[in-house]
Amino acid sequence: MTHPGEKFYPEGVRWDAPISRGTLPDLLAQSASDFGERAAIEYRDRPISFVELKNMADSAAAAFLRAGYGKGSSIALFLGNAPDHPVNFFGALKAGARVVHLSPLDGAIALTHKLKDSGARILVTSNLSTLFPAALKFFEAGLVDKLIVCEDQTWGDVGNPMTALPDNPAIITFREFVKDAKAPAQWPSVSPDDIALLQYTGGTTGLPKGAMLTHGNLTSAVSIYDVWSEPTRRERNTVERVILVLPLFHIFALTVVLLRCLRMGDLISLHQRFEVDAVMRDIEVKRATYIPGVPTMWIAIASLPDLDKRDLSSLAGAGSGGAPLPVEVAKIFERKTKLQLKSGWGMTETCSPGTGHPPTGPEKPGSIGLMLPGVEMDVVSLEDPAKVLPVGETGEIRIKGPNVTRGYWNREAETKESFVGDRFLTGDIGYMDEDGYFYLVDRKKDMIISGGFNVYPQMIEQAIYTYPPVQEVLVIGIPDDYRGEAAKAFVTLRADAKPFTIEELREFLTGKIGKHELPVAVEFMKELPRTSVGKLSRHELRSQQLSQHQQPAKQFATGGRS
């Protein structure tokens, strides 16, 4: 069967190419066997070889098993971008457990829910002052039984503020945790059908829900990208140096960079955070060859006044994902660097892969690209998700593939609602053109994408409702030149309460929700719009705002969400 858009695929790539499926511990073991002492990760100028990474992960796995966290357990990781993440990620998986990613950007409400919902009773964190105090609060609240604390200075002391550990046997350093841990006579059996990761995502109808991503889902995702890029890799025939500044707790960074690079033997240049000067040094001095990013990164880089004079000749490619990239930013970047920002669309529930742009093919500004090998996508009626729409008609995008989640943890009803047969309803509204290129025009739910991160209005509203002057609140997304979208709160006040500034509101919310969730504006209203049954209506609020301001829709070059 010929699929739309296959004619534009890279030469030699077929839509029905075999997609490999396995387990993540086997992926790392095979890479250690294939690439040995070659550097897998470089962090703070220190190389870590494939064999060294595997050995550290094996030590973590043995320690998790010794502590009683093996098959059937959930192990939470509350870590930033450091080698501690892959060590404990692969260690937990080899022990037969499932990983739960906790985002350091989240507030206490979301993090508490994820711990309770996942059943994780052990948490791996860092002694960084940006992480450990929050982790300690979870322990003191009885949400976890054991804290494993990685020491940031292990990877070189760069003067990061760190927190001392309290004297408690249930709170120990990672070094102590793995000390003298011996490999078992037989490692737990791990199957491609086992859940590897509970990756929390959600909508606006409740708290985040955990997408169940199996070993087979994640290894298939890696294979899909490998099939897609094979002609380019064969032509270049080199070890790539890939800059990783995206957060490892995000599905985009996990799949597109960490797992892919480990599978292919490339070098991951790992950065703790995105800093323009450090990234430019990696490109100009260390000769990085590829950098995936999110729109906020590209906006910062495109804004460098001397970008057209910088030496970017080592770069073979640059990619954008996680959120829509404004067309104007893509144009500025290409004009200054002569490099095109290649991109695609995907979601947490697909382990990232969905669509991509081929190296050559028609220029399609605003498109999210073609469906990738092994992935089937179509567009269905919003009224009847079983009815497939013809080319050019707008509806909800569905997706099927070996990389697609089996559903949501402890959410049978929501899982059932998300599928029509074996096809997942993405919640994204769009259409496909006659060449097989897809376009996004809206989102079915009210989620806001800010700087590449999913922001859920109801989570923000719940926190705002704890602010004493507030009677009622609705939060919607508004255009933001830097983040793409940002949250704005529309508030009615309690009797006798006085209006407050956005600065006062943000100060009150800090710590209750993540920094990326903090609203950038507040507007006071006498009454918020409601549905016919009396429920507050975000849809009507957006319609009111649009009619008042008559803002033209922003044009986006590419899109995606995770």
Question: What is the per-residue DSSP string for 201-224?
Answer: E--SSSS-EEEEEEHHHHHHHHHH
The token duo for 557 is 């070059």
* pLDDT tens readout for residues 327-361: 677 788 888 888 888 778 999 999 999 999 998 88
What residues pair up with 146 in beta bridges, in sequence order?
122
Domains in the chain: how many in total? 3
485-499: average pLDDT: 92
What is the chain's mean pLDDT, rounded? 91
Going by pLDDT thresholds of 50, 70 and 90, the confidence category of residue 561 is: low
Q: Are residues 297 and 439 in the same domain?
A: yes
Cβ-based burial of 66 (10 A; exposed 0-12, middle 13-18, buried ≥19) = middle
Which of 161-175, 395-409, 447-461, 526-540 is predicted with the least confidence, judged by mean pLDDT?
526-540
Rounded to the nearest 10°, the torsion over CA 317, 321, 326, 327 is 40
Together in a domain, 309 and 329? yes
Please provide residue 236's backbone torsions phi and psi, each rounded to the nearest 5 degrees. Answer: -75, -40
Partners of 397 in beta bridges: 379
- Banded pLDDT at 98 (limits 50, 70, 90): very high
Q: What is the DSSP code string of 270-287?
A: E-SS--HHHHHHHHHTS-
- Beta bridge partners of residue 75, listed in sequence order: 99, 122
Q: What is the CATH number of the domain that holds 319?
A: 3.40.50.12780
Domain check: are 307 and 388 in the same one? yes
212 is written with which tokens?
Answer: 């169940």
Same domain, 437 and 476: no
Residue ending a domain, among 142, 157, 190, is 190
Measured distance CA(209)–CA(200) in Å, rounded: 5
- Token pair, residue 152, equals 């940031």
CA–CA gap between residue 247 and residue 259 (Å, rounded): 13
Cα separation, 429 vs 395, whole angstroms: 5
Residue 167 to residue 333: CA distance in whole angstroms = 52
Please check whether residues 157 and 250 belong to one and the same domain.
no
Task: Decide if 359 is inside a domain.
Answer: yes
pLDDT in tens, 283-330: 999 999 999 988 778 888 888 889 989 999 999 988 887 766 666 777
State whether 321 and 379 are in the same domain: yes
Same domain, 348 and 409: yes
- Whole-angstrom distance, CA of residue 97 vs CA of residue 406: 18
Element holding 42 (H helix, E strand): strand 39-43
Residues 490 and 382 in one domain: no
pLDDT, residue 100, reads: 98
- Is 298 in a helix, a strand, or coil? helix
CA–CA gap between residue 414 and residue 96 (Å, rounded) = 27
pLDDT (average), residues 96-107:
93
Residues 163 and 251 in one domain: no
- Residues 181-193 have pLDDT tens digits of 999 999 999 999 9
Same domain, 327 and 459: no
Tell me the chain's radius of gyration from C-alpha atoms: 23
Nearest Cα to 486, choosing from 495, 498, 478?
Answer: 478
* Residue ranges making up the domain that contains 49: 24-190
CA distances, 521 to each of 342, 417, 459, 517 (Å): 33, 34, 16, 12
Place 88 in a pLDDT band, splitting at 50, 70 and 90: very high
**pLDDT confidence of residue 1:** 46
With cut-offs at 50, 70 and 90, classify the pLDDT of residue 112.
very high
Residue 531 lies in a domain: no
Residue 209 lies in a domain: no
The pLDDT value given to residue 71: 96
Higher-confidence position of 32 and 440: 32
Determine the straight-line distance between the first and last CA of the chain, rounded to whole angstroms. 30
Say which residue, 179 or 202, is predicted with more confidence.
179
Residue 9, pLDDT score: 96
The DSSP output letter for 166 is P
Alpha-carbon distance 513 to 339, whole Å? 37
Residue 160 in any domain: the answer is yes
**Domain contains 540:** no
CATH number, domain containing residue 96: 3.40.50.980
How far is the C-alpha of 348 from the C-alpha of 374, rounded, in Å?
Answer: 17
Please report the sign of the dihedral spanned by the C-alpha atoms of residue 80, residue 81, residue 82, residue 84. positive
Rounded CA-CA distance 548/562 in Å is: 31
Please tell me the distance from the alpha carbon of residue 542 to that of residue 433, in angstroms, as a whole number: 28
Residue located via tokens 């529309």? 490
User: What's the whole-number mean pLDDT along residues 233-242?
Assistant: 95
Q: What is the pLDDT of residue 396?
A: 94
pLDDT, one tens digit per residue, over 147-164 is 999 999 999 989 999 999
pLDDT at 339: 86
Q: In the predicted model, is pLDDT for residue 225 greater than 80?
A: yes
Instruction: Give the pLDDT confidence of 247-277 residue by residue, as tens digits.
Output: 999 999 999 999 999 999 999 999 999 999 9
| Residue 197: both structure tokens together | 């990761």
**Does residue 104 sit within a domain?**
yes
Residue 534 confidence (pLDDT): 58
Check whether 206 has a pLDDT greater than 70: no
In a domain, 489, yes or no: yes
State how far the Cα of 556 lies from the Cα of 330, in Å rounded to an integer.
9
135 and 84 share a domain?
yes
Structure-block tokens of residue 468:
């004493």
Of 443, 467, 497, the position where a domain reaches its end is 443
Percent of the chain with pLDDT over 70: 94
* 104: pLDDT strictly greater than 50: yes
- DSSP state, residue 323: S
Q: For residue 558, what pLDDT band results from cuts at 50, 70 and 90?
A: very low
Model confidence band, residue 136 (pLDDT cutoffs 50, 70, 90): very high
pLDDT for res 459: 79
- In this prediction, residue 442 carries a pLDDT of 65
- Specify the pLDDT at position 138: 97
What integer pLDDT is reported at residue 483 of this predicted model?
86
Rama region for 110: left / alpha / beta (φ>0; ψ in -120 to 50; rest): alpha
Confidence of residue 14 (pLDDT cuts 50, 70, 90): very high
The residue to which tokens 């109808």 are assigned = 205
CB 334 within 8 A of CB 207: no
Report the percentage of the chain scoring pLDDT > 90. 72
What CATH number should be reported for the domain holding residue 470? 3.30.300.30
Buried residues in 367-397 as b, exposed as e (16+ CB within 10 A): bbbbbbbbbebbbbeeeebeeebeeeebbbb
List of residues 6+ apart from 16 with CB closer than 8 A:
1, 373, 374
CA dihedral of 319, 330, 322, 536, whole degrees rounded to 10: -170
Q: Which of helix, strand or coil describes residue 114?
A: helix
What is the three-class DSSP state of 47?
A: strand
One domain, residues 237 and 184 = no
**Does residue 520 belong to any structural domain of this protein?**
yes
Query: Average pLDDT, stretch 92-118?
Result: 94
